Each structure stands twice: as structure tokens, then as C-alpha cells.
């Protein structure tokens, strides 16, 4: 007795169906998603070359409905990144945080995966992209790039433009060795200061090298935060309470500190103040009344590009390789103190890396304890050099007489 083959069962009313469309030469999946507010049945269709592809698209479509996220079909990775840069970083510094992220994205992200549709982006795609970039970028840069992608997709998720964040499934690979930070030795530091003496950046470099302030802390420094005389047994000092970051905040709350100034820094700043007053008087109304210690020729605040350009010329004049950067003056400060035997915990306190929380009460009137070790050490480190200059100057005066 032969068995009668079972007939294919017809899909029930409202069930998902998959069928072949001879006109479009592809499989079609029809999905039942209930009814719209106007009473019409919601039955979108998906297409694929195989039934498996159609089933996967039906599954993804249902997931979007369940999560309430309907990712736009043509929304790309580039769209997500640009949306995050435009709307996700409100209140951040346009030239700093936003500018840095935009530059990295435009160079290393958008040209490589920017055209990919975000809903189709996979963890493998992200891995392949990072592995390719690892041949050209340092590990730190790769981590920054991955962070940009993660935050861009997270921003898209909050706008219901992405169902999941595949970048969270990926770890940044090891990249090329980064450029290590360097520190000037004593002879190199002296050479830089000698080369900078005729420059308007001289006082800036002296303060940075001999007190350890960050370049972003030195640029916005105002004269009302600089105290060049001893008052009530408090030595000359500088209140490092601001930076060029958004809203003027220092890098961390613990970076806010008050440090004593070495005598050489006091002398240089006094000379710089006299010179600035003369320049301001000669400029008249053209001078910008910012109250900054370090300015351009018209009194405008210095920016990072000003400092880097002038510092590069000074370093070259000092006979050093032009690869040095202004931020390495701070590394040099730490290195010189360490070589002089100053304990690490004292150095950390001087550069604002202390782990102890300190009181931030009554601005300027109740200063934090003035940290004197750095000033005392720098006076000793550079004392011999200063004495030699004074002796040479005296000999020259005697000869002239």
C-alpha cells in the first residue's frame, strides 16, 4: 500500500509567509505586525535570494518591532558619527574635544567604514577595520577610534536609529608603538632657556619648566592669580585654578593647586610684567584687556598653535631636534626634581596628581597650603647657572669701566 504524500500546509491567517516571486526573481517574506492606528493591516515585506536570508530579515524586523527601534535602512556609519559630533558633544570645546574627535573620524573612520549601513554593520567589520588601522596607528589612537564608534552608535541607539551596538563586542588591537614622552636633562633645559631669552615666550617657558604647570594651565593664567611678593609669611606663588578646557576647569579637581615660585621665575615674571605694561601702553585701544599673563602682540590669549610654533623655533635655536613639544616641559620638571632627590609623593603634589582631596573653600582668600619644595629645589638646581651669568655680567661691566 503506497502512502499518499502530505500536502504542504497553507500558512494560517496572519502568519508569516515566504514565497518565490518570479517577476523579481527573489524570495519574498511577508510579515504580519498587527494593525496600524487607522485600522489598516501592517504587513511589510522583505526580499532575499534564499529562504534563509528572508527568514533572517523577518527575525530582525520582528526584533526591531519588539524593541521599538526602527533603524533607517539607509542610515550609515558616517551619518551616526557626524550626528554624534554635531549633537552628542554639546557643551564641549569645539577646538579641543570636538576638533580632535572630528579629525580622527575624518582621517581613520569615515573613509574606511563610513559607507556601511549601520543596521548591517557587524563586529567582524569593526575588527577588520581596526586591524587594518593597527598598521599605522598607536594603540592609544586605536582605542580612541573605537571609543568614537561606540559613542556614535550609542547616540544613534538613543535616537532609535540602531538596535544594538556591535562596537561594544570588539576590543582594540595592539597598534604601533607610540611616541614616548621625553624629558630635557639639565644641560638641555638650560640651552632652551638661553635660546628663549629674546623671545616673548621666555617667561612662559620659565614658568612651565620651573614650576611644572601644564601648558593648558599656563595659557589662561591671569595676573590676579600670580603673587610675586611675600605676604603674611606666604612666599611668592601662583594659583593654578584654571585651564583652557571648557568652562575653564582644570584637568581634574585635584589639579587645582597653589605652588610657590622659584626666585628665578619671580624675577622673570616681574620683568615680563614691566615689559607687558609698556607694550600695552604703546598699543592703546588696540590692546585686548584680557588680564592674561601670556598674550599675543595685541593682548589676545595665546592658543596652542602659537606656543607650538614658537617653541619649535626655540628648540631648533638651542641645537635640539625639533620633535620636542611644550608639554614635555612638564615631564622635564618632574625629571629634574626626581634627579635632585625630591620624593615621588612630593612631585605628585606639585603637579596636581595628589590622591588626597583638599579643601576648595573661599576662592583666593583661603589658599591651599603653598607647596614650597619645588621652588626651593629649582632655585638650587639653577642657582649655579644664575651665579655664572651674574659673574660674567659683572666682569663685562668692569671691563667696560
Active site residues: 214, 251, 330, 353, 363
Packing angle, helices 99-108 and 139-158, rounded to 10: 100
Say how far apart CA 45 and CA 57 lie, in whole Å.
10
Question: What secondary structure does DSSP assign to 46-101, as a single string?
Answer: EEESSHHHHHHHHHHHHHHHHHT----TT-BHHHHHHHHHHHTTTTS-IIIIIHHH
List helix spans (H) across 109-179.
Answer: 110-113, 123-133, 139-158
Place of cell 500536502: 7
Q: Are 211 and 261 in contact (CB under 8 A)?
A: yes
Closest by CA position to 350, among listed 223, 209, 232, 222: 209
The CA-atom distances, in angstroms, between 383 and each of 219, 264, 378 are 27, 9, 8
**C-alpha radius of gyration, the chain, whole number:** 32
Closest by CA position to 69, among listed 133, 156, 206, 163: 163
Place of cell 544613534: 156
Strand partners, 35: 41
Amino acid at each position: 500500500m503506497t502512502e499518499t504524500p502530505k500536502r504542504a500546509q497553507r500558512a494560517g491567517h496572519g502568519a508569516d509567509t515566504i514565497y518565490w516571486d518570479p517577476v523579481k526573481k527573489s524570495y519574498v517574506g511577508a510579515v504580519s505586525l498587527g494593525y496600524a492606528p487607522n485600522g489598516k493591516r501592517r504587513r511589510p515585506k522583505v526580499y532575499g535570494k534564499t529562504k534563509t536570508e528572508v527568514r533572517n530579515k523577518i527575525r530582525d524586523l520582528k526584533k526591531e518591532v519588539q524593541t521599538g527601534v526602527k533603524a533607517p535602512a539607509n542610515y550609515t556609519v558616517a551619518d551616526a558619527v557626524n550626528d554624534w559630533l554635531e549633537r552628542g558633544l554639546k557643551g564641549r570645546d569645539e577646538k579641543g574635544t570636538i576638533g580632535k574627535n572630528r579629525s580622527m573620524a575624518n582621517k581613520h573612520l569615515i573613509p574606511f567604514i563610513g559607507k556601511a549601513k549601520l543596521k548591517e554593520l557587524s563586529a567582524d567589520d569593526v575588527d577588520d577595520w581596526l586591524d587594518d588601522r593597527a598598521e599605522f596607528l598607536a594603540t592609544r589612537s586605536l582605542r580612541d577610534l573605537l571609543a568614537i564608534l561606540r559613542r556614535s552608535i550609542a547616540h544613534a541607539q538613543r535616537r532609535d536609529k540602531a538596535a544594538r551596538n556591535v562596537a561594544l563586542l570588539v576590543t582594540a588591537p595592539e597598534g604601533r608603538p607610540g611616541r614616548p614622552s621625553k624629558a630635557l636633562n639639565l644641560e638641555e633645559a638650560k640651552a632652551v632657556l638661553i635660546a628663549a631669552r629674546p623671545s616673548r615666550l621666555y617667561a612662559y617657558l620659565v614658568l612651565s619648566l620651573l614650576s611644572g604647570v601644564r601648558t593648558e594651565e599656563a595659557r589662561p593664567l591671569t595676573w590676579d592669580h600670580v603673587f610675586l611678593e611675600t605676604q603674611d609669611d606666604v612666599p611668592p606663588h601662583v594659583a593654578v585654578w584654571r585651564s583652557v578646557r571648557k568652562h575653564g576647569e582644570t584637568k581634574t579637581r585635584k589639579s587645582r593647586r597653589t605652588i610657590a615660585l622659584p626666585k628665578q621665575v619671580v624675577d622673570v615674571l616681574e620683568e615680563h610684567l614691566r615689559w607687558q605694561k609698556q607694550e600695552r601702553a604703546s598699543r592703546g585701544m588696540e590692546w585686548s584687556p584680557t588680564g592674561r599673563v601670556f598674550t599675543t602682540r595685541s593682548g589676545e590669549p595665546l592658543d596652542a598653535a602659537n606656543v607650538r610654533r614658537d617653541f619649535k623655533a626655540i628648540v631648533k635655536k638651542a641645537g635640539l631636534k625639533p620633535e620636542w613639544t611644550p608639554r614635555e616641559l612638564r615631564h622635564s620638571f618632574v625629571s629634574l626634581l626626581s634627579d635632585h632627590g625630591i620624593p615621588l609623593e612630593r612631585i605628585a603634589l606639585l603637579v596636581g596628581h595628589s590622591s588626597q582631596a583638599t579643601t576648595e573653600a573661599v576662592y583666593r582668600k583661603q589658599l591651599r597650603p603653598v607647596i614650597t619644595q619645588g621652588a626651593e629645589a629649582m632655585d638650587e638646581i639653577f642657582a649655579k647657572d644664575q651665579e655664572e651669568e651674574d659673574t660674567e655680567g659683572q666682569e663685562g661691566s668692569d671691563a667696560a669701566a
